[in-house]
Structure 1
Amino acid sequence: MNVVEGFCLVSGLRLNKEKCMLASVNIGKESAQILVNALGCLISSWPLKYLGLPLGGEPSLKDFWALVLEKLTRRLEG
């Protein structure tokens, strides 16, 4: 049993391992792998999506905001 599974057992929460990811910032690949093994999750890379929106791209680029504007437009139309 890993740390996250222990927390779920104690708290009564459920874990969806397909959505559980670790995106490392300023740590090496070996350290990230140790954390992934301890937490029992997948490893992700930057940029990634959170709640369907880009996280960690280059916000000064026009293409970065295209997905955000598209999602907002669809949401407002509905």
Structure 2
Amino acid sequence: MRCFELVSGLRLNLKKFYVMKIGKSADEEMNWDAIFRCPKASPPISYLSLPLGGRPSSRLFWKDLIQCIENRLAPWKKCFLNKGGRLVLIKAVMSNIPNCYMSIFKILISVA
């Protein structure tokens, strides 16, 4: 990690660091959390607002995305929008929210 800092010119913030075991058995695991003095994490976690370690084939995986869209729609429901206003809402605002999810995961038909 020190090499990464030197090459990239970036600094690692160990307060935001988590150690997660992926694909190692218990006897192969080192105490990385003790070495770096950071907490352990276990899947599923969120990275850049995307869930990692979940099952995209389950409806529960998409719960956060659906909740985010519902929260965005809540203030607009109080307004009486004509067709043009609804179209602007969908095209400009609502269509961009799931793009990040759908660029990585195949969306379920029931969620779409």
Larger strand fraction of residues: 1
Q: Offset of 1:29 from its aligned partner?
A: 4.2
2:45 maps to amino acid: L
Match of 2:14 in 1: 17
SS in structure 2 at match of 1:60: coil
The structure whose Rg is larger is 2
Q: Is residue 2:38 matched to residue 1:56? A: no
SS in structure 1 at match of 2:65: helix
- In the aligned structure 2, how far is the partner of 1:55 from the partner of 1:68? 14
Deviation track 1:19-59 (CA, whole Å, cap 9, x = no partner) reads 222221121345142x3445x24321011111122211222
- In the aligned structure 1, how far is the partner of 2:59 from the partner of 2:10? 40
RMSD: 2.4
- In the aligned structure 1, how far is the partner of 2:33 from the partner of 2:24? 12
Q: With the length of structure 1 as denominator, give the TM-score of the two structures.
A: 0.61
Count residues in correspondence. Answer: 68
Q: With the length of structure 2 as denominator, give the TM-score of the two structures.
A: 0.47
Unaligned runs of 5+ in 2: 73-92, 95-112
